[in-house]
Chains A and B, each alone.
Chain A
Amino acid sequence: MFEATAQNRRNRKVEGLFRLLFLWMTCMLILPVALILGVLIVRGGPAISWEFLFSPPTNGMTAGGILPALVGTVWLVVVALIASVPVGVAAALYLSEYAPDNRLTRAINLAIINLAGVPSIVHALFGVGAFVIFFRFGTSILAASLTLAVMTLPVVIVATRESLQTVPLAFREACWNMGATRWQTIRKIVLPNSISGILTGVILEVSRTSGETAPIMFTGAAFFLPFLPQGVLDQTMAMSLHLFVISTQVPDVPEHMPFGVALVLISMVLAMNGISIAFRVYLRGRKKW
């Protein structure tokens, strides 16, 4: 009575085939990550030491450590965050909570998508023109960070907007019907319930910012500078540019050094991603509706 027809059997076979195909493709995704990490740990691991992390490069960057680059990257990321997070969150709040569906809004959305698609080297040239020359910040942490901020703004806006939109419309409507303004609704209901998602977006921005090379190489990152920056108008070394420099521009660098730099850089990024995942898990555990 319930015999499978030929068609049933065929469907079942095809179903199994596609499942295997998708699983295979997903495993392919893990492969490069595992290889990159593996190679970096095996070949860069021996370079890592306290001295490597906490002393400046010496002997024309063929020996010593990476302290100025490490500190410089932290400077660049922090200043970029200070510049981009307030602007990005405010823009996302406007777009998600206030903006009517009109031509201006559509134009802004288009601008965000396009900003996200601009190649980083073009951002670098923009940074030189706008921040280094026009605003006279010179090649400095400030100019480089602002360039990074402009570049990562779409990430912050999109992440924040998505996070805001996870808060159900019904909550907003309930508040509005009580006589709450949009801002009161944002402050009392929307922001408290989306802040973890926004922080996740910010952390992802950090991990992206810390690895960028092109936008900072003309705007504030130095080839070699054995001192730590004293303020935002100083130039600085940065991990990403340092990696590029010792891999391609400096002769006789021992092989483990660039791998060591890459390992430190990727560890920073992975640590940031780890924090972001922990946030999301925490958020899920505290779900309020």
Chain B
Amino acid sequence: MTSPAPEIAAGDYAVEVEDLAIRYHGKPALSGVTFQVQRNEIFGIIGPANSGKTSFLRAINRMDLMTAGMEVSGSVRVEGRDVRSWRNPYALRQRIGVVFPLPVGLPLTIYDNVALSSRLRGTRRKADLDVIVERCLRRAALWDEVKDRLDSLGSLLSGGQQQRLTIARALSQDPSILLLDEFSIAVDPVTTMRIEEVLAELKSEMTIVLVTNLVQQARRLAARTAFFLTGELVEVTETEAMFEGGAQDPRTTAYVEGKFG
């Protein structure tokens, strides 16, 4: 039932994964994963707990280097280049924004949270930082709520605000890829909708990989969606088709219809 994929030059993929396998202390968490994420696409990843979704994200920005016991085999290419060929993994990570399931406001002021990435890269001028902080907070739909208290602690904001703060912080990296890992788990529905609107806008500027526990969220945002199950990639399908009964695998249909997971 799959239509032939349109011809795309290798460089037009934001992320290409080939025969990716991940193990923790020898225990497999994910194996045999092969697919591509196009540039400026919102790519959804759904699947129940322990299906390997988070591990997949960690392999993209080489967090295996910071994680004891995590081994990655196969290849992951970001913008056409194998991530293991980056001699400086810090430079790779700076190009990739990450948002975690539980919002992590760093114990710094709101301003310093958003300015941190630029400071790490050596930007010192207050005027430059001011511009970056305001722009990123505006784009994360948080500016109006915090503009009068930029010097209060980011870690003491409410859950929904902290999650938008972490999105602003990720945007301050000026990333070409944004990885979101179940960002709405600790966020109220209204804030979730606001963040979803933000993501839809950001699509024109960056590639977004959206791991989500809410299948409807994938349906609302993602053009294509991958279904992970117990450490394997079941399929990658156009999202709409997946929900309209066009999934290639009956397990996918059962999952999106809420029959398990």
Chain B residues whose CB sits within 8 angstroms of the CB of A189 once the complex forms: 106-108
Q: Is A106 an interface residue (CB 8 A)?
A: no
Chain A residues whose CB sits within 8 angstroms of the CB of B108 once the complex forms: 188-189
Chain B residues whose CB sits within 8 angstroms of the CB of A288 once the complex forms: 107, 153, 155-156
Find out whether the CB atom of B63 lies under 8 angstroms from the CB atom of A179: no
Q: Is A108 an interface residue (CB 8 A)?
A: no
Q: Is B98 an interface residue (CB 8 A)?
A: yes
Find out whether the CB atom of A174 lies under 8 angstroms from the CB atom of B100: yes
Chain A residues whose CB sits within 8 angstroms of the CB of B156 once the complex forms: 288-289
Find out whether the CB atom of B100 lies under 8 angstroms from the CB atom of A179: no
CB of B66 to closest CB in A, whole Å: 5
Known: A170-B104, A171-B107, A289-B107. A177 touches B98 (CB 8 A): yes
Write the chain A residue with the least CB distance to B95: A179
CA distance A174 to B117 in the complex (A): 11
Q: Is B120 an interface residue (CB 8 A)?
A: yes
**Per-residue contact bits, chain A 157-193, to B (CB 8 Å; 1 contact, 0 not):** 0000000000000110111111111001000110011
**Per-residue contact bits, chain B 157-174, to A (CB 8 Å; 1 contact, 0 not):** 000000000100110010
Chain A residues whose CB sits within 8 angstroms of the CB of B170 once the complex forms: 178
CA distance A178 to B116 in the complex (A): 9
Find out whether the CB atom of A178 lies under 8 angstroms from the CB atom of B68: no
**Which residues in chain A, 270-289, are within 8 Å of chain B measured between CB atoms?**
288-289
**Which residues in chain A, 27-74, are within 8 Å of chain B measured between CB atoms?**
none
Q: Is A100 an interface residue (CB 8 A)?
A: yes
Q: Is A101 an interface residue (CB 8 A)?
A: yes
CB of A193 to closest CB in B, whole Å: 6
Write the chain A residue with the least CB distance to B102: A170
Chain B contact residue count (CB 8 A cutoff): 31
**Per-residue contact bits, chain B 192-234, to A (CB 8 Å; 1 contact, 0 not):** 0000000000000000000000000000000000000000000
Find out whether the CB atom of A179 lies under 8 angstroms from the CB atom of B106: no
Chain A residues whose CB sits within 8 angstroms of the CB of B169 once the complex forms: 174, 178
Find out whether the CB atom of B120 lies under 8 angstroms from the CB atom of A179: yes
CB of A288 to closest CB in B, whole Å: 4
Stretch at the interface among B16-24, B36-44, B86-94, B238-246: B86-94
Find out whether the CB atom of B94 lies under 8 angstroms from the CB atom of A179: yes
Find out whether the CB atom of A184 lies under 8 angstroms from the CB atom of B120: yes
Chain B residues whose CB sits within 8 angstroms of the CB of A181 once the complex forms: 90
Find out whether the CB atom of A179 lies under 8 angstroms from the CB atom of B102: no
Q: Which of B108, B120, B121, B173 has the most CB of A within 10 A?
A: B120
CA distance A173 to B100 in the complex (A): 10
CB of A16 to closest CB in B, whole Å: 41
Find out whether the CB atom of A179 lies under 8 angstroms from the CB atom of B155: no
Find out whether the CB atom of A178 lies under 8 angstroms from the CB atom of B94: yes
CA distance A173 to B57 in the complex (A): 13
Chain A residues whose CB sits within 8 angstroms of the CB of B31 once the complex forms: none
Write the chain B residue with the least CB distance to A174: B104
Write the chain B residue with the least CB distance to A193: B107
Find out whether the CB atom of A180 lies under 8 angstroms from the CB atom of B100: no
Q: Is B237 an interface residue (CB 8 A)?
A: no
Find out whether the CB atom of A177 lies under 8 angstroms from the CB atom of B63: yes
Find out whether the CB atom of A179 lies under 8 angstroms from the CB atom of B91: yes
Known: A173-B100, A174-B106, A179-B91. A188 touches B117 (CB 8 A): no
Known: A174-B166, A178-B173. A289 touches B90 (CB 8 A): no
**Which residues in chain B, 55-76, are within 8 Å of chain A measured between CB atoms?**
61, 63, 66, 68
**Per-residue contact bits, chain A 80-105, to B (CB 8 Å; 1 contact, 0 not):** 00000000000000000000110000
Chain B residues whose CB sits within 8 angstroms of the CB of A177 once the complex forms: 61, 63, 93, 96, 98
Write the chain A residue with the least CB distance to B169: A178
CB of A7 to closest CB in B, whole Å: 39
Chain B residues whose CB sits within 8 angstroms of the CB of A173 once the complex forms: 63, 66, 100, 104
Find out whether the CB atom of A170 lies under 8 angstroms from the CB atom of B100: yes
Write the chain B residue with the least CB distance to A102: B68
CA distance A170 to B100 in the complex (A): 9
Chain B residues whose CB sits within 8 angstroms of the CB of A101 once the complex forms: 68
CB of A81 to closest CB in B, whole Å: 28
29 pairs, CB–CB < 8 Å, chain A vs chain B: A170-B104, A173-B66, A173-B100, A173-B104, A174-B100, A176-B63, A176-B66, A176-B93, A177-B93, A177-B98, A178-B94, A178-B97, A178-B98, A178-B120, A178-B173, A179-B91, A179-B94, A179-B120, A179-B121, A180-B90, A188-B108, A188-B119, A189-B106, A189-B107, A192-B107, A193-B107, A289-B105, A289-B107, A289-B156
Other contacts beyond A170-B100, A188-B120: 9, CB < 8 A: A101-B68, A173-B104, A174-B100, A174-B104, A174-B169, A175-B116, A176-B66, A179-B93, A288-B156
Chain B interfacial positions (CB closer than 8 Å to A): 61, 63, 66, 68, 90-94, 96-98, 100, 102, 104-108, 116-117, 119-121, 153, 155-156, 166, 169-170, 173
What are the 9 closest A-B residue pairs judged by CB atoms, nearest first?
A179-B94, A288-B107, A179-B93, A177-B98, A289-B155, A174-B104, A179-B90, A170-B104, A178-B117
